[in-house]
Amino acid sequence: MNMQKTGSFIQEARKRLNLSQQALGDFLSVTDKAVSKWERGLACPDIDNLKNMAILFRCSISDIVNGSQPDPSHSSNLPMDIPAASDAPEAPEADVTVTLDYTASQSISPLLFGDNLEHTRGCIYGGLSAELLRNRKFTGKPGRYGCAHEWYAVGERPVMAFGSPYTRHGDGYKMRRSHEQNAQYITNYAPVRTGMGQKDLCLLADTDYIFTAAVRSFSGNELTVSLIGSDRTVYDSKTFSADPGDYREVAVTLHSPKEDPEARLEVTFDTVGTVMIGAMSLLPQNNFRGMRTDVIERIKELGIKLLRWPGGNFAGEYHWKDGLLPRNMRAPFQSYLWLETQPHSGGYDFHEINTDDFIALCREIGAEPFITLNPTWNSPEDSADWVEYCNGDESTPYGRKRAENGHPEPYNVQFWSLGNEMGYGHMEGANTADAYAKLVREHAVKMLEVSPGLTLCSSGPYPNKEWAEYSAKALSDVAAAVSLHHYAGYPAYIDPDKRKEEYENFIRKVDTEFQPRMRILREQLGDSVVKISYDEWNAWYAWYRSGSVTEGIMAAAFQNMLFRNADRYGVMMACHFESVNEGAIQVFPDKARLSPTGQVFSVMNRHANGMICALAEDVTSTCKHGTVTTTLLNRSFDQPKKFTLNNCGSVISAQLYTSEDVVPGTVFDIRELEVRYADGTAEVVLPPHSLAVVCTETK
């Protein structure tokens, strides 16, 4: 360690966050003098302080120790074994010729067409969830006048405070979180209208909404719930009672006659007394288990065959048994990494999707479920209970609970991940390879006792020799796969004169970063039978900007690369990160549409289970049901590219996905592609940064 470089790094990172030495010291529970000594290179932080600074600075411990700038593609507390870029071709061929082979016996595994559904950022809140109300379970601290954030007080004399909650956690909850369980109390000392409301709700035209609330009072009060337009017109209102005693849930239907992106919901009463509200909900009547049906239709277009849930990082904040409670009663989860996993919802997840909902979604879209455990805070018995809930019959305790919840047949979930990114500085729990392996072995053994034959996937920072040796290989008798994650840094696209250079450098990362990581990890695993699960891949910060054609081209290049190398490197499955609002589907209050990455997936998914006719640089050709589907990719920023397909049948259809530009906000235009066909040979010319799909008959 160079203490001077480490000190300079800490000082620069602290100033970047506008923190004083005292503020950083308070965060770390040390004095400002200790921080000053670190920054002057006179002392070294201990491992706990290094870990906490890595979380705060959003970097790795090795970045702090080495005094280097953080690499956004990983946040490991160990140095990654970054491979050399020798896998990349010197330059892409100007023209490509392939000959289709109809005798091949190999197909493209559907498990390579996976995606993630993590409860993070905009994936659930403002994405898949149909819930209109924000902070509907009153998390955090109350505002200045006692009202929960995202809500406003109604009336001139409301007295508001937090009180005894309606929400709660399920059995076995052990996480150390705060402000997860509250209820909103509203006291009225005079017979005047008072209550609470929320604004900026996007209502659709001629739509029914289901309003539910958990309420109680001391003496019995009549409440009115109203949908109010942006012009203060009352669209609809209903009354219900808050009775003395325990909380009870009430439900009424409210109708919106027209579209209004700035509507309000208000809950009021005009009698003396105190009303306690434990939770509220407002859902369109046509929701699918609390999820938006229009978003689900877009997910179906992606052709996802494997869906990983509930994280990602959020898996370390999730307690699955909370999902056994009714939807409105489930306590919210406070985010351990507030800025990372829940920045759009006040640092809390409201547990809108439980195990039953997730399985129902998988069946609706035709995907295999892939569940990630929380081995830090859940016990091995908790994990075994989860497996039993999913796979046990009605003779088992948790199989019986599933049946009582309306699902008598076992879900038969095959794929399970033993935690997410364990050993990285930003995750709680076992931080070394041997400690992690010892911890999750106990989980794995108990899970396999419940349901033998599960496909388990271990975690860790990869590629890393130590973790490959003492975790992946050590767990090979219980975990058939090991997780691999990578995100490529996205171009800034600030200087127009550097647009081509930035685009080409980014697209090249498929060959210089994504593929070499597979190769190095395979070499580290040696002759081990352990397979690779490339279960997180994407461009960095796809979740904080509009999609782009650049990302679409990268996604197509990645999938082509994956198809060519999956068998070579032993890749069992792969999952893009993630579908909703983070790369593939853009969701708005009134609609949802595919991003350029989603457009690419809607084309490439046609290869799932297809028999391979040709695999080449930027060319994939597969056959299903007598039709050959060939996808062609031109990665070039400014040059056209010709593709020749030999031994192909008559052309059935041909489409081109093209765009004038590649910057954020661009999408592919879809148009017919001209094909020159004669005597079993088809020729097409693709414009720069474009994708094509050509369907032909078998010959």
**CA dist 655 → 391, 426, 510, 640 (Å):** 43, 44, 24, 16
- Predicted confidence (pLDDT) at residue 431 exceeds the cutoff of 80: no
Q: Strand, coil or helix: what is 187?
A: strand
**Separation CA 322–CA 295 (nearest Å):** 25
Which pLDDT value is given to residue 64? Answer: 86
CA angle at residue 318 from 314 to 322, to 5 degrees?
A: 150
Q: What is the mean pLDDT of the chain?
A: 93
**CA dist 497 → 131, 418, 502, 659, 660 (Å):** 44, 46, 10, 19, 16
**Separation CA 420–CA 39 (nearest Å):** 33
Sign (positive or negative) of CA dihedral 344, 305, 617, 533: positive
User: What would the mean pLDDT of 624-637 be, rounded to a whole number?
Assistant: 96
pLDDT digits (tens, 9 = 90+) for 489-509: 999 999 999 999 999 999 999
**Separation CA 361–CA 363 (nearest Å):** 5
- Predicted confidence (pLDDT) at residue 144 exceeds the cutoff of 90: no
Helix (H) or strand (E) holding 683: strand 681-686
Residue 680: burial class (beta carbons within 10 Å; 0-12, 13-18, 19+): middle
**Domains along the sequence of the chain with CATH:** 3-66 (1.10.260.40), 95-111+612-697 (2.60.40.1180), 114-127+289-372+407-431+450-608 (3.20.20.80), 136-284 (2.60.120.260)
Sign (positive or negative) of CA dihedral 611, 614, 619, 623: negative
Which pLDDT value is given to residue 77? Answer: 46
**Separation CA 416–CA 300 (nearest Å):** 23
Model confidence at 158, pLDDT cuts 50, 70, 90, reads: confident
Sign (positive or negative) of CA dihedral 594, 415, 359, 138: negative
**Separation CA 379–CA 381 (nearest Å):** 5
CB 317 within 8 A of CB 349: yes
- Count Cα neighbours of 90 within 13 Å in the Cβ-side half-sphere: 2
List strand residue ranges (DSSP E) for 287-440, in order: 306-309, 333-334, 348-349, 368-372, 415-417
pLDDT digits (tens, 9 = 90+) for 268-288: 999 999 999 999 999 999 999
The length of the chain in residues reads 699
Which pLDDT value is given to residue 661? Answer: 96
Model confidence at 73, pLDDT cuts 50, 70, 90, reads: very low
Model confidence at 362, pLDDT cuts 50, 70, 90, reads: very high
